[in-house]
C-alpha cells in the first residue's frame, strides 16, 4: 500500500487537502476541543460551532479583504444549487424593486394597476445575462431557462461559436451581445471541465451597480488568486476544489442585494418561481448560516485551510498563493508546449486555466492516452483522466497540489514525450 507522500493526486474534485489539515481533522473527529465527543457530534447551535463558523468567516474576510458591506454565507447544495438560488433571489429582488417604483409612480391603493404593469415589465424587460464559456456556465444558463423561461435568458456569449462548436476560447468582449439592464450578469470564472479561465475581470462589467450585479461562480479557482470583491454582487463556490471537502458552498454577497425581496404571493401572480427556503439568502443570513443543520465539520475544514494560507503567506494573503499557482501552471504548460507533436493543449492560450490544465496525448489516440495514464499511475501521478464529457487529460492544479507534485508531473511529461 503506498503512503500518502508517494501519491500526487491531480483530480478535479473532490480535490486534495493539505495533509496537516487532515491530520488535525482525524484528531477532532474523535475528540473536539477536549469535550469528549467528536466534531461531527457537537450541536450546530453550540458555542463551539458558532466559534468555528465565526473563525472561518474571519479567515475568508481577511484573505479576500472583504468589505463590511458584504455577507459571508455557508450553504448546502453545491455550486449547482446556486445555479438555482441566484435566479430565485435576484429575480425576486428585481421584481420588488420594480414594484416599489410602480407604487411610487402610480400611488398607493393601485394594486391591480401595479400588478398589470409588473406583468408587462416581466414580459418585456426581465433579462438575465449569461456568459457561456464552458460546461458549467452552460448548465447554469440552462437551469435559469428551466426556472423562468428561455425568453428571459440572454446568452450574451456562447464561446462554442468561436471555436468550431467546442469550448476553449473566450470571444472578444466586443462580440458579446449584452442586455441593456439585465437583472444580473453571470459568468463562471474558471471552467473545470474545459480548462478555460477568465484572465481578469471583464472590463465591460466594470461599474456594475446594485440593479445590474455581477455574479461569479468561482468553485474551481476560489482562494487561488487575488480578487477585488467590490466588483461583484455575488461570488460563490463549492468547497471541494481549493477550500475543503464536499458538503458546503461558500457565498459572498453584497448586503444590499439581500433586501428587498418580492413576496412569494406576488411571484406566483407573475408566474415566477418561488425558491426553497434553504436557498433563500436573506433567511440564511438572518440565521447566521444556521437556519438548518450546517455540517460544522466541513466548515471547520474550510476554516483550517483558509487559516493555513494566512499562516503561510502572511501579509501577501491570496497573492502569495496566486504566485505559487502561477509557477506550477507555467511549469506544466511549458513542458506541454515544448512537445507539440505529442501534446495538444485544448484551450486557447489566452484563456488557459491555471487550475485545470486540459490536454490531449497524440491527438487523442485512445491507446496512447491509456498508455499515458497507466505510466503516470506507476509514478504515483493519479487523477489525470479528463472529464467524461470531453475525454483527454486534465491535471488539476489546486492549492493543495504541491510544487513538488507539479515538478514530478512535469518530469514525467518530459520523459513520456521523449520515449
User: Which residues are identified as catalytic?
Assistant: 136, 217, 241
Do 274 and 88 form a contact (C-beta atoms < 8 A)? yes
Dihedral angle of Cα 190, 193, 195, 196, to the nearest 10 degrees: -40
Q: What is the rounded CA–CA span in Å between residue 28 and residue 30?
A: 5
CB 128 within 8 A of CB 148: yes
Beta strand spans in 111-195 (E) = 128-132, 153-158, 184-188, 190-191
Nearest Cα to Cα of residue 257 among 228, 229, 290: 229
Cα four-point dihedral sign 187, 86, 73, 101: positive
Length in residues, the chain? 419
Read off the C-alpha cell for 314: 502572511
Beta strand ranges found along 234-308 (DSSP E): 234-238, 249-254
CB atoms within 10 A of CB 283: 15
8 A C-beta contact, residue 190 and residue 221: yes
Give, in order, the Cα–Cα distances in Å from 117 to each of 87, 101, 113, 268. Answer: 21, 11, 6, 15
- State the DSSP H helix or E strand holding residue 360, giving kind and residue range, or none if neither: strand 356-361
What distances in angstroms separate CA 22 from CA 19, 170, 315, 316, one per listed residue?
Answer: 5, 37, 25, 24
Residue 126, sorted as left (phi over 0), alpha (psi -120 to 50) or beta, turns out to be beta
Cα separation, 284 vs 264, whole angstroms: 17
Q: CA 132, CA 157: separation in Å to the nearest integer? A: 6
| Cα distance between the two ends of the chain | 28
Relative to beta strand 214-217, strand 184-188 is parallel
Amino acid at each position: 500500500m503506498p503512503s500518502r507522500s508517494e501519491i500526487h493526486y491531480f483530480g478535479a474534485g473532490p480535490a486534495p487537502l493539505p495533509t496537516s489539515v487532515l491530520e488535525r481533522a482525524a484528531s477532532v473527529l474523535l475528540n473536539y476541543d477536549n469535550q469528549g465527543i467528536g466534531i461531527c457530534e457537537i450541536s450546530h447551535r453550540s458555542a463551539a460551532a458558532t466559534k468555528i463558523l465565526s473563525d472561518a468567516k474571519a479567515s475568508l474576510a481577511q484573505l479576500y479583504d472583504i468589505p463590511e458591506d458584504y455577507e459571508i454565507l455557508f450553504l448546502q447544495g453545491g455550486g449547482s444549487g446556486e445555479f438555482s438560488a441566484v435566479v430565485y433571489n435576484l429575480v425576486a429582488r428585481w421584481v420588488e424593486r420594480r414594484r416599489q417604483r410602480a407604487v411610487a409612480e402610480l400611488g398607493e391603493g393601485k394594486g391591480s394597476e401595479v400588478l398589470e404593469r409588473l406583468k408587462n415589465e416581466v414580459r418585456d424587460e426581465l433579462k438575465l445575462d449569461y456568459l457561456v464559456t464552458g460546461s458549467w456556465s452552460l448548465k447554469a444558463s440552462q437551469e435559469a431557462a428551466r426556472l423562468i423561461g428561455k425568453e428571459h435568458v440572454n446568452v450574451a456569449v456562447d464561446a462554442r461559436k468561436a471555436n468550431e462548436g467546442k469550448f476553449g476560447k473566450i470571444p472578444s468582449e466586443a462580440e458579446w451581445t449584452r442586455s441593456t439592464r439585465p437583472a444580473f450578469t453571470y459568468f463562471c470564472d474558471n471552467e473545470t471541465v474545459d480548462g478555460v479561465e477568465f484572465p481578469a475581470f471583464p472590463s465591460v462589467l466594470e461599474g456594475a451597480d446594485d440593479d445590474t450585479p455581477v455574479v461569479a461562480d468561482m468553485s474551481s479557482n476560489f482562494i487561488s488568486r487575488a480578487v477585488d470583491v467590490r466588483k461583484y454582487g455575488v461570488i460563490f463556490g463549492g468547497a471541494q476544489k481549493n477550500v475543503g471537502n464536499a458538503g458546503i458552498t461558500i457565498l459572498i454577497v453584497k448586503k444590499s442585494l439581500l433586501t428587498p425581496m418580492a413576496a412569494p404571493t406576488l411571484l406566483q401572480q407573475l408566474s415566477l418561481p418561488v425558491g426553497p427556503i434553504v436557498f433563500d439568502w436573506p433567511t440564511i443570513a438572518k440565521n447566521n448560516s444556521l437556519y438548518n443543520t450546517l455540517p460544522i465539520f466541513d466548515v471547520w475544514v474550510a476554516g483550517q485551510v483558509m487559516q493555513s494560507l494566512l499562516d503561510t503567506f502572511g501579509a501577501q494573503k491570496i497573492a502569495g498563493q496566486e504566485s505559487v499557482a502561477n509557477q506550477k501552471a507555467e511549469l506544466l504548460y511549458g513542458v506541454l508546449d515544448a512537445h507539440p507533436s505529442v501534446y495538444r493543449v485544448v484551450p486557447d492560450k489566452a484563456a488557459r486555466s491555471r487550475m485545470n490544465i486540459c490536454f490531449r496525448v497524440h491527438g487523442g489516440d485512445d491507446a496512447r492516452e491509456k498508455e499515458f495514464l497507466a505510466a503516470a499511475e506507476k509514478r504515483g501521478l493519479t487523477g489525470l483522466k479528463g472529464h467524461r464529457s470531453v475525454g483527454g487529460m486534465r491535471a488539476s492544479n489546486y492549492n493543495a497540489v504541491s510544487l513538488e507534485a507539479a515538478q514530478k508531473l512535469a518530469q514525467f511529461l518530459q520523459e513520456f514525450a521523449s520515449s
